[in-house]
Amino acid sequence: MKPKKEYLSLREIQNAALEILVEFDRVCRLNGLRYSLAYGTLLGAIRHKGFIPWDDDVDVVMPRPDYERLHDMAERGEIVFPEGYLLSSDRGKKPEYPFMKLMNSAYRISSNTHFEVPYLYLDIFPVDGVVEDEKARKREERHNRTLINESMLSRWPTIAGFWRVPVRIFSFFPYAVLKIFGVRRHAVEKLNRNVRKYPFEKSKECDCTNFGPIRTYAPVGWYDSYEEADFGGHKFMILTHWDEWLTMRYGDYMTPPPKKEQTNQHSYLCWRNV
């Protein structure tokens, strides 16, 4: 008889996610890999010295050269994570997402809102160069967004709760068609090729262009300079230009949003994998 699931509280999820970030930081420092906390995780580090109180995930970004080194070293077995840690694939026959995730299989998850991997994770986004011409950049954004949507629609929903059955019924036909034709793999492959057209080292500006609808274009030079920041009682790397980056992304980032907007975008259930 399987033991009854005991779901973790938000605070417990944050502590478990922090464990993954600590391990990721250890590997990067040991191997000289550049990374920075990003998005809500960077905002949490600056405004709260840890997680945004209602947030439950961890995001980091890596310049494309370092991202590729991480992938290749892990593939060759040169990086060894603790038992139960898994680095998801962003390429091959069964890519999970167009970016990598470091997962800890000690914690299972099921999302109310997202198409997720089965284990608690940290998102690792590559930073790529972008074309300088504004019109060409807009075309690239539209093209990439289409490929991102195709890759997401071809995932089987892991929705939990009341909407689980209706969502799966509604999703079955498009999922089956896209699965048969291998749309996710092809979409991710095309997206990965597309975002690499403008090499990071030779570009003037860059961003994580392979996921999400919002762009935060920054000078490539910003990703050459880092400093440490406190986050949950540990020190992690952030861009030295964190203030400019956060201002571009969020505006007045030190002022928390209204209470009604303080919601968790992932909203997943998490329990220990025993």
Regarding beta strands 119-129 and 59-63, do their DSSP bridges make them parallel or antiparallel, or are they unpaired?
Answer: parallel
Tokens found for residue 100 = 């990598």
pLDDT of residue 102: 97
pLDDT score recorded for residue 266:
67
Ordered domains of the chain (ranges, CATH): 10-128+208-272 (3.30.460)
Amino acid identity, position 97: Y
Measuring CA to CA, which residue among 152, 33, 40 is closest to residue 87?
33
Q: Are 6 and 272 a contacting pair, CB within 8 Å? A: yes
pLDDT in tens, the chain (274 residues): 566 789 999 999 999 999 999 999 999 999 999 999 999 999 999 999 999 999 989 999 999 999 999 999 999 999 989 999 999 988 877 777 889 999 999 999 987 656 668 899 999 999 999 999 999 999 999 989 888 777 766 454 555 555 455 655 555 555 555 555 455 567 888 899 999 999 999 999 999 998 877 899 999 999 999 999 999 999 999 999 999 999 999 999 999 999 888 887 667 889 999 7
Query: What is the rounded distance in angstroms from the CA atom of residue 22 to the CA atom of residue 25?
Result: 5
Between CA 4 and CA 100 the distance in angstroms is: 31
* pTM, 2 dp: 0.88
Instruction: List Cα–Cα distances, 2 to 12, 34, 119, 158, in angstroms.
Output: 22, 43, 19, 20
Instruction: Report which DSSP code applies to 200.
Output: G
